[in-house]
Structure 1
């Protein structure tokens, strides 16, 4: 999902347009050339909220859990996100 970048001034002039676009893709609002906020759909926001992470300690894992984690490998599709590691 490509993020659309728009200046704060342009966003203010056409807020309705960018609200509509945010239903299908994130809209990053820039200030002085830097992203300051991102507008996303309420559906996407709720999806992200549901994915809040729970912190677990080592004692929360069984030996089988640890073995499964050691054997886990990312799917080939995950390579699409390698560029994010370089940021």
Structure 2
């Protein structure tokens, strides 16, 4: 990731916009990262990964029944020791 001061970013915004197409550009203020410029494609990729948080009231009875009936995959057995006391 490229780091650049806000003043430098303002002076050469076109250059940093071009660089942000291939790598993130962190804009700093008083030496601390404040914002990051990324390409539109990277932003859209990250947005696709967003998850919605639901409360129990958002689930239907069928949803809850499906969750109760679900079984973990066999490979999850290797983590059982983490719950042993």
Question: TM-score range, shorter-chain basis?
Answer: 0.5 to 0.7
Q: Which residue among 41, 49, 52 is the counterpart of 2:50?
A: 52
Sort the Cα spacing of 1:23 and 1:7 in 2 relative to 1 into closer, same or farther, 3 A. same
Match of 1:71 in 2: 76
Query: Where in structure 1 are there 5+ consecutive unaligned residues?
Result: 74-87
Aligned length: 69
Query: Where in structure 2 are there 5+ consecutive unaligned residues?
Result: 57-63, 79-85
Instruction: Tell me the TM-score normalised to structure 1 length.
Output: 0.66
Structure 1 runs, 4 residues or longer, greater than 4 Å off: none
Following superposition, the deviation at residue 25 of structure 1 comes to: 0.5
Structure 1 or 2, whichever has the larger Rg, is 2
